[in-house]
Structure 1
Amino acid sequence: MEAPTQLATDIWTVATWDEYIQTIENPAYEQAKGFYHNGRMLIDMAPIGFAHSCDHTIILFAVSLFCTLKGIPLKGQIGCSFRKLGLQECQPDCSYYVGERANLIPQLTKIVDLNTYPAPDLVIEISDSTLSSDLGNKRLMYEELVVKEYWIVDVQKAQLKAFTIANGGSQAIAKSTLLPGLSFSLLEEALQRTRVADQSTVGAWLMQQFQAI
């Protein structure tokens, strides 16, 4: 069966695993991000806007800076594919293996096999037009994959929603348990500052705040 020439994108649709794989391997969707969970797939082809890109950049910088200053081993990925064959796949905006698992995945790995390796410790989605999906279906998926923390950046409101995941569920948190000492109110203030200041200025401010912790 040939992959459909037209497909409803940016919404969750019922599909078999084979239909999902056939779709994401179609050259028409080579720029898309793919998600599969609970018999449904999401082909995310939403264009990446300026605000989304800026928030993505400052969050990546903040996480890397904090861990560098605090001596926390870290390895991050942007848009990496994590796959549990036949069941689930995700390509989060950014993800991290932290601490003793920082160097767990071989460097030349193409798709991380979740039947062989654990899911990343931290997953972050940057939400401009996808907030309901990120809070809903994706959150359920990351709960099942046993990600330790899940962060959602609300681009429209310059806010950060964060959850710790354990025992098959998630709970909102104000401070990171994975990166001890990191307050999400501080990251929100950094996001808000980028609305009126350049990222180098905000980065210098973040460094001062992190050094005081």
Structure 2
Amino acid sequence: MVNPVPILQTIATETWIPAAWEDFLTFADDPTLVGGRFYYDQGEMRIEMSPLGSAHGRDNTIVSTLINLYAAMRSFPMQGFTNTTFRKSGLREFQPDLAFYIGEPGQTITFPARSNAAVNLNEFDPPSLVIEIAASSLEDDRTRKQALYQRAGIREYWVVDVNASQVIAVEPSKATQLRRSQVLPGLEIDWVDSALKRAQTEDDGAVSRWFLGLLTQ
């Protein structure tokens, strides 16, 4: 018997290519590709299979920690999701590094149901904040994915430039760069930049204590 050709040998990865939705699902729902990240928008798909280094993982952890601390200290209702798939069937799919549903203090908001399936964007609103941690994918994260998130109705989008230890925050609907978060009012993007730089020489506890000190001044 002839062994089947590994599925990813038949297509290009780390780039956008034309694909029907049904063909995209062949890859996105293949259990052997569970380690990949999948995007679909306007009849094109992108599959990312590159290994993620310690710099990527470190920045992911620091940014997530800061957002959780800020929301807790300022009483924002929030739920965060790591490497979670969001799907609007037949139209688009994205799997960002981090995504957050965020409300205003005292507000009751509906979070996605707990499930091992993709978050169904026909049933739930899209996240308030989406974050991509960018090393080799910086150009795509700042262009093609930003356009995807604009069409998806994401209110705020951050690209974390791993090499520069810097956050590029935008309001996708206006392509306007932000220096202060709009979904987490009062959070300065410069604070996040400083935390990323500190994390290169300090441990998580030290970075967290520094950040909490800013919030309690």
Instruction: Please say whether Structure 1 and Structure 2 have the same fold, judged by a TM-score greater than 0.5.
Output: yes
1:15 paired residue among 12, 19, 31 = 19
Report the equivalent of 1:85: 89
Deviations 1:138-172 (A, max 9, x none): 10000001101000100000000001133xx4211
In the other structure, the counterpart of 2:33 is 29
Partners of 2:45 and 2:28 in 1: CA distance: 10
- Any residues of structure 2 matched to 1:125-204 within 5 Å, and which? 125-166=132-173, 169-204=174-209
- CA 1:185–1:27 in 2, change beyond 3 Å: closer, same or farther? same
Runs of 4+ displaced beyond 6 Å = none
List per-residue Cα deviations over 1:42-67 (Å, max 9, x = no partner).
11111110000000000000000001
Deviations 1:148-204 (A, max 9, x none): 1000100000000001133xx421110011111100001000001111111211111
**Which residue of structure 2 lines up, in the alignment, with residue 209 of structure 1?**
214
Q: Are 2:49 and 1:42 equivalent residues in the alignment?
A: no
> Aligned in 2, Cα 1:206/1:5: closer, same or farther, shift over 3 Å?
closer
What percent of counterpart residues are identical?
A: 32
Q: Which runs of 5+ in 1 are unaligned?
A: none
CA 1:196–1:11 in 2, change beyond 3 Å: closer, same or farther? same
Q: 8 Å contact 1:3–1:22 — kept in the other structure?
A: no
Residue 4 of structure 1 and its aligned partner are, at CA, apart by: 4.2
CA apart distance, 1:3: 8.5
Other structure's SS at 2:126 match: coil
Root-mean-square deviation over aligned CA pairs: 1.6
- Residue pair 1:3, 1:19 contacting (<8 A) in 2 also: no
Displacement after TM superposition at 1:103 (Å): 3.9
Residue type at the aligned position of 1:13: I
Shift of 1:207: 0.7
SS at match of 1:46: coil
Secondary structure (helix, strand or coil) at the match of 1:68 reads: helix
Quote how far apart the aligned CAs of 1:107 are: 2.1
Q: Which runs of 5+ in 2 are unaligned?
A: none
Q: TM-score, normalised by structure 2?
A: 0.91
Q: Residue 107 of structure 1 aligns to a residue in which SS?
A: coil
Equivalent in 107, 110, 122 of residue 114 of structure 2: 107
* Structure 2 counterparts to residues 52-71 of structure 1, below 5 A: 52-71=56-75
Residues paired across the two proteins, number: 209
1:190/1:122 Cα in 2 relative to 1: closer, same or farther (>3 Å)? Answer: same
